[in-house]
Copies of this chain bind each other. A is one copy, B any other.
C-alpha cells in the first residue's frame, strides 16, 4: 500500500465544507427559480461527463418529487444538426463544472433560441454559462484541481436539490442543510472498508456498477470515476437494464458494485440483484443499502442515514475514495489521468 496522498484525496475531504458554502449561497434562490419556472412544464438537462450524472440525479428527483417530465439533451441536435425544436414551456438546466465547455454553452444558447428559460448550475461564477443563463446556481466548491470531479459533483447535486425545492417538491429543506454534517462524520469511518474494496479490485479488468432510481446517478458516476482514473472497464447500469442483457457479462472475474440508499422502494431489488450476482460466483461489493444490501454482499461500505432523495450526495463519496485508492495501488496518478484535461472541449 502506497502512502502518497493526492490532490483528489484532499478535494474529497473538502466536500462537507464545499456543500455548506454552496447551500448557503443557493438555498435563498428558491423563489427566483419558482418565478422563472412558473410558466414551464418540462425540464431539459444539458450536460456531459460527471455533470451528466448529476443531471440523472436531477432527472429522477424532479420526476418523482416535482411532477415534471425531464429530458437529457443530446447536444449534437443543437451543435451538429442545428435542429429547430419547439422548447416553449421548457426549463433548460445546463450543468458544467467550469461553465466554459463550449458545447454546453452553445446548447444552452440554442435552447433559449428555441424558446426555453435557462438555468446554469456551475462552479464557474463568472463563466460564459452564467453570463448566458436567466438564473445561475453557482456552486461554491472552490478551485478543483484533480481531473476527476469530486466536490464539484456533490455540490451540483446540492444545487439540483435546491432546484427541486424551487420547482415545488414537498421536501424538508432542513434535511438538505443537515447533509454536510452527516457526511463529515461518515467520511473517516468508511476509509478502511474502501481500502479493502480497492485492494480486491486490483487486477480486475471489468466491473458492473448498478443502482436504481435516485441512486442510478451514483452508479453511473462510480463507473465513470473507475474508468477515468483506474482505466477499469466499469459499466454503469440501472438494475433493470442490467437484467436486459448485460447481466451475461457478470462472472467470477467481473465483480458488481451495487449502490443504494439505506431505505426506499429500490432497496429490495438491489439486494436481490446482489444475491443473483453471488449465485454466479461473482464478487458483490455494496455501497450503502443498509443491512439488506450489506448482508447480500461480500464486502460493503455502510452509508450514513439520509433520506433516499439526499443519499446520492453521500453515496458517491466511498466510490471516490475507492477510485483514489485503487488508482494509487495501480501506480496511476489519480489527479491527472492519461488523455484527459480539466475542461473538456467537444463540439
- Interface residues, chain A, CB within 8 Å of chain B? 41-42, 44, 48-50, 52, 59-60, 63-65, 67-72, 74-77, 80-81, 83-87, 89-90, 103, 205-206, 212-213, 216, 224, 227-229, 231-233, 235, 238-241, 243-251, 254, 265-266, 269, 280, 337-340, 344, 346-347
What are 29 of the A-B contact pairs (CB < 8 Å)? A42-B42, A48-B240, A52-B244, A59-B74, A60-B77, A63-B85, A64-B81, A64-B83, A71-B72, A76-B213, A80-B265, A81-B213, A103-B240, A205-B205, A227-B249, A228-B245, A228-B246, A228-B248, A231-B249, A233-B249, A235-B235, A240-B346, A245-B340, A245-B344, A248-B337, A248-B338, A248-B339, A248-B340, A269-B347
Cβ-defined partner of A86 (8 Å) among B41, B247, B250: B41
Copies in the complex: 2
B residues within 8 A CB of A228?
A: 245-246, 248
Question: In whole Å, how far is A172's beta carbon from the nearest beta carbon of chain B?
Answer: 18
| Interchain CB contact under 8 A, B213 and A80 | yes
Q: In the complex, are the beta carbons of A48 and B241 less than 8 A apart?
A: yes
Residues in B with CB closer than 8 Å to A65 are 83
Could you tell me the distance between the alpha carbons of A240 and B52 in the complex, rounded to whole angstroms?
Answer: 12
Q: 10 closest Cβ contacts across the A-B interface? A: A49-B244, A206-B233, A228-B245, A240-B346, A233-B233, A71-B71, A64-B83, A64-B81, A63-B77, A205-B205
Are B70 and A71 in contact, CB atoms less than 8 angstroms apart?
yes
Q: Are B240 and A76 in contact (CB under 8 A)?
A: yes
| Residue ID in chain B nearest A247 by CB atoms | B339
Within the complex, the shortest CB–CB distance from A31 to chain B, in Å, comes to: 22
B69→A42 contact, CB < 8 A: yes
Chain B residues positioned under 8 Å from A77 (CB to CB): 60, 63-64, 213
A53 smallest CB distance to B (angstroms): 10
Q: Which of B60, B72, B247 contacts A340 (CB 8 A)?
A: B247
Tell which of A84, A224, A232, A248 has the most Cβ of chain B within 10 Å.
Answer: A248
Give complex CA distance A226, B66 in Å.
38
